[in-house]
Amino acid sequence: MFKEDTLQDKTILITGGGSGLGLAMAQKFASLGANIAICGRTKEKLEQAVQKIRTHEKSKVDFYVCDVRNYEVVEEMIQAIVRDFGAMEGLVNNAAGNFLSTSEDLTPNGFNTVIDIVLNGTFNCTHTFGNYLIKRERPGNILNMVTTYTETGSAFVLPSACAKAGVLALTNTLAYEWAEYNIRLNSIAPGPFPTKGAWTRLMPDKSFEDQYLSKIPAGRYGDREELANLAAFLMSDMAPYITGESVIIDGGEHLKSGQFNFINEMLPRDELKKLFVKMKSGRK
């Protein structure tokens, strides 16, 4: 379906692009001719990611150390990308944070940290990029990563559920409001796609992983290439009339509702509390 020039002449920023699904999307976009900017907070991780993305020789690739929670730093980054690449046509808000916790044991700092990265970070990048496009009367494309539990909520991931629901509302609100500027906004709601960072925070042990897998109708986890293909389509000129859409890609998992609700059936709550604390501290 894709050609090598599907995303040619497009410069796309992927937040949290140094690993996991962000890196998978960056590599896919680069293979289709896009110029790629990635950002994150860890320089070493970004440097390694750039080397992987640069295997696609036709694409210009660079990284920017940036904390998306800081609006002024985001503004400086967007200005730097435009200066370095000449323009910017696309944004993928992929940076996120999540962890398991019973809601009564959440600390205000734990809640605020996830909200700050996911919701405020998405706003900061979207608002800055959107104003760049509007002031220059340029079309643009924004893709936001949400979850399958934005409408249902999910046990043990309250901060993420709240933040991602906010991102979905932001996406749909701006898809309507900014359509007159020829700016499209869509979202993807991934189910389980095993990545090192997320998996260590969300899967306590193999028994949990086996239980998780058993509730996916497709009988398997997602492959990063599958998500990257969907993202490439939505970011391309093949989807010019799609805006305000949230696409679920989860092998049918959402049909059972509440992504992490199954955990409540595995252990007594007191044992779950101890397990979550152990995960948070990094102990096995």
- pLDDT tens sequence across 84-117: 999 999 999 999 999 999 999 999 999 999 999 9
> What does the block give as tokens for 39?
């950002």
- Give the Cβ contact number of residue 253 at 10 Å: 22
In a domain, 86, yes or no: yes
Pick the catalytic residue from 149, 176, 221, 241: 149
User: Mean pLDDT across the stretch 124-135?
Assistant: 98
Residue 279 binned pLDDT confidence (cut-offs 50, 70, 90): confident
Per the structure, the complete domain to which residue 267 belongs is given by 11-281
Is 71 a catalytic site residue?
no
With 60 as the cut, is the pLDDT of residue 9 above it?
yes
Report the range of poorest mean pLDDT among 194-198, 210-214, 230-234. 194-198
Instruction: Region of 195 please: left (phi>0), alpha (psi -120 to 50) or beta.
Output: beta
pLDDT for 200:
65
178, part of any domain = yes
CATH number of 23's domain = 3.40.50.720
The whole-model pTM stands at 0.89
Q: Is residue 254 part of a domain?
A: yes
Res 261 pLDDT > 70: no
- What is the count of structural domains for the chain? 1
Q: What are the residues whose beta carbons fall under 8 Å from the beta carbon of 64, sequence distance 6 or more?
A: 37, 38, 39, 46, 77, 80, 81
Check: CB of residue 16 under 8 Å from CB of residue 42: no
- The answer as to whether 237 is a domain residue is yes
pLDDT at position 174 is 98
User: pLDDT confidence of 58, banded at 50, 70, 90?
Assistant: confident
